[in-house]
Structure 1
Amino acid sequence: MNVKGSRPLRADAQRNRDAILLAARETFEEEGVLASLDGIALRAGVGNATLYRNFPTRHDLLAAVMESNIALALAEADELARTLRPREALAEWLVQLTWQLRIWHDLPYCLTTAHGDPASSMNAVRNPLLMRTGVLLDEAKSLGDALDAVTVDEVFELITALSWGVDRFGDDKETARRRVRVATAGIFA
Structure 2
Amino acid sequence: MPVRADSGTSRPLRADAQRNRDAILDAARETFEAEGVLAPLDGIALRAGVGNATLYRNFPTRDDLLAAVLQTNTAAALEEAAELARTLPPREALAEWLVRMAWQMRIWHDLPYCLSTACVDPDSPLTATRSPLLDRTGVLLDQAKRTGDARGAVTAEEVFELVTTLSWGVDRFGDDEQAARRRVGLATAGLFTEPVR
TM-score (norm 1): 0.98
Q: Which amino acid aligns with 1:120?
A: S
Equivalent residues in 2 for 1:1-189 (5 A)?
A: 1-2=3-4, 3=6, 5-6=8-9, 7-189=11-193
Higher mean alpha-carbon deviation, 3-12 vs 50-59, is at 3-12
Other structure's SS at 1:56 match: coil
User: Distance in 1 between the 2:159 and 2:66 partners?
Assistant: 23
User: Distance in 2 between the 1:126 and 1:5 partners?
Assistant: 21
Would the alpha carbon gap of residues 84 and 23 (structure 1) be closer, same or farther in structure 2, given more than 3 Å must change? same
Shift of 1:114: 2.1
TM-score (norm 2): 0.94
User: Distance in 1 between the 2:57 and 2:104 partners?
Assistant: 28
- Which segments of 5 or more consecutive residues in structure 1 lack a partner in the other structure? none
Shift of 1:124: 1.0
- Which segments of 5 or more consecutive residues in structure 2 lack a partner in the other structure? none
RMSD: 0.8
Would the alpha carbon gap of residues 129 and 50 (structure 1) be closer, same or farther in structure 2, given more than 3 Å must change? same
Higher mean alpha-carbon deviation, 111-120 vs 156-165, is at 111-120
Shift of 1:69: 0.4
Identity, in percent, stands at 75
Runs (4+) off by over 2 Å: 1-6
